[in-house]
Chain A
């Protein structure tokens, strides 16, 4: 009797082991696909594993193209964060071709030239971005409609690109992307001043700069914490460690942006209100009062007297039925964004297709 029980126990252990091993094996099959990687060389767009410039998520028969551009100080990885949220893969699974640009990468890789610091300014980034998209479209005709989806200053940059070349994009989805500049509040000024006083305004964060950042006290700064309204999506230190942020090599923020932050009345690009071809494009503005980096009065064309012909504004607040007032990062990264925000983007996108 005792012997039979031992055999039974051994069999049970064996069975559990086999089951666990099988599950472990199957789990690798569940790993997400690795996106294809593009880089811009002197002769055009090439596909290689080196010198990452953009991630390409290409489904079988795409319904359209989404061009993603992250905010300044982040990397393209912010759209594809394992265990958190992955907007790039969400739209890929919904049948859209997704091209996620590494627009403000750790090195200026959008054009050949390695660490050429001359490419770090706003205008240069805009030019190289334009060049990249032009070459990409020439080599590999992108399925229409082509929709620009930008976060923060990435959205601002895509809109500026659209103003210069109104025919390239068929629509815009802007997430926490300021149209006007200024009116961020005392905390932002204090933060900028803190960086300037340390004589290192250009380098904010990045994998390699953690020690430096800790020395600066930026990591401990409350200003830094304002990236998140609820502080529960991720530990910022972890995000930095994983490389979701990227350093900003140059203090050349968009134009005279740092001066503008000192003013209350936001500055609106002067020719924006008259660019009728651009203003005819459909646009979805996603904004939230919990976003301290790009508050609604800087993102909402209604607040700025700019009249888009087909404008929709999505305000991520409890008043509109959302779980909370989303912060700048949470509108992309929070697990609730997958349930509440992404479907709204998809619905708008489907209307454009």
Chain B
């Protein structure tokens, strides 16, 4: 009887494994329909990681903008965060507005150096490494490549948290303006799954150097990415605002393996109640006061990963001469209550969110330099109040 049970278990595991590998393979059938970038460029960081930069040249028929734009993905994401389909492509949208756009991928993501058995890279990196090595390398590269003294930085989630750290650590940062889409200044475990992770996994995560195979697992389950049959899936997006095709495509192509130390740093930050370095020594939330770069923040009302309160903390603390805060929700004039991912991939994002980003970038691009420096505290724009 015991032998029979053991055999059944083995067959079950085998069946699940075959199914998963099959689904993983089939996920490639859900192709990304995007316009390819003009070129792919490569940057090497000081600690010898190779980062991919996807260049989208500006539309030459419209007015050329002064400063280039860097787009950066969030935790466990890649270039597809901003560029999933032709309709859901921020780089194409911005390049049509005359911006020279550089879509970057941080270490461990997309075409950038990714740890594997074939190379010596390791998942033993944290957000601090993104801040200390990736961000300066990317900003300096784009500045050198374009000859522009400054760049605009647009980040989704962790993509702008990296910039919060970079701006407070580097004096000559060369950043013209910052857009934070769902980028928290403190980490609030807004769902029970995250809370459970915070309590149970923090020490385990910090001690691991093997990547968490999110890409494989989520690709294997991508066929079921919509509707959200697991309640915890509502953590990452508001399904009311995302089409089934986009959800499946995002699950198949926009997710990367996670660094356990990055995840551990998030859990530790949630534990402390502030965004802190991996060793807990440096408090990035406290350091937000050093930021004077014009900043626009966008918070989804239904965002369970970066709830609006966690972005309000950034808004309160930064000392930028120009700062805006947009609550993306019905009560604030939008057609949907936005979640974390659908603020860039949602059905209504191209009509409501992309123009918001473009409008901000155009204004900051055209603003007189002296105004941005001298009018600290006077030109605070607020929407949603």
Residues of A within 8 A of B (CB): 182-189, 226, 262-266, 289-290, 292, 295-297, 300, 302-305, 307, 315, 317-322, 325
Contacts and interface: CB of A to CB of B under 8 A. Distances in A.
B126 interface: no
Nearest to B325: A264
Nearest to A262: B385
B312 A319 contact: no
B337 interface: yes
Contacts of B232: 319, 321
Contact of A183 (B190, B234, B239, B385): B385
Interface stretch (B22-30, B171-179, B327-335): B327-335
Contacts of A307: 273
A226 B308 contact: no
B308 A317 contact: no
A318 B327 CA distance: 20
B228 A183 contact: no
A262 B327 CA distance: 14
A265 B384 CA distance: 11
Interface string B227-262: 010011111000100000000000000000000000
16 contacts: A185-B332, A185-B333, A187-B331, A189-B385, A226-B331, A265-B316, A289-B301, A290-B337, A295-B308, A297-B309, A303-B310, A303-B312, A317-B234, A319-B191, A320-B231, A325-B302
Contacts of A325: 302, 337
Interface residues of B, number: 36
A196 to B, nearest CB: 17
Given A297-B308, A297-B309, A302-B309, A182 B188 contact: no
Closest 5 CB pairs of A and B: A303-B309, A297-B309, A264-B385, A185-B331, A319-B234
A48 to B, nearest CB: 43
Interface string B366-385: 00000000000000001011
B188 A302 contact: yes
Nearest to B231: A321
Interface in B183-222: 186, 188, 190-193
Contacts of A264: 315, 325, 382, 384-385
Nearest to B332: A185
Nearest to A304: B309
Nearest to B384: A185
Nearest to B270: A302
A265 B309 contact: no
A302 B273 contact: yes
Contact of B312 (A185, A297, A317): A297
Looking at B228, B232, B304, B331, the one whose CB has the most chain A CB atoms below 10 A away is: B331
B334 to A, nearest CB: 10
B58 interface: no
A20 to B, nearest CB: 44
Interface in B336-385: 337, 382, 384-385
Contacts of B302: 289, 317, 325
B333 A186 contact: yes
Given A182-B385, A183-B327, A300-B307, 4 more contacts: A187-B331, A289-B329, A292-B330, A295-B301
B304 A317 contact: yes
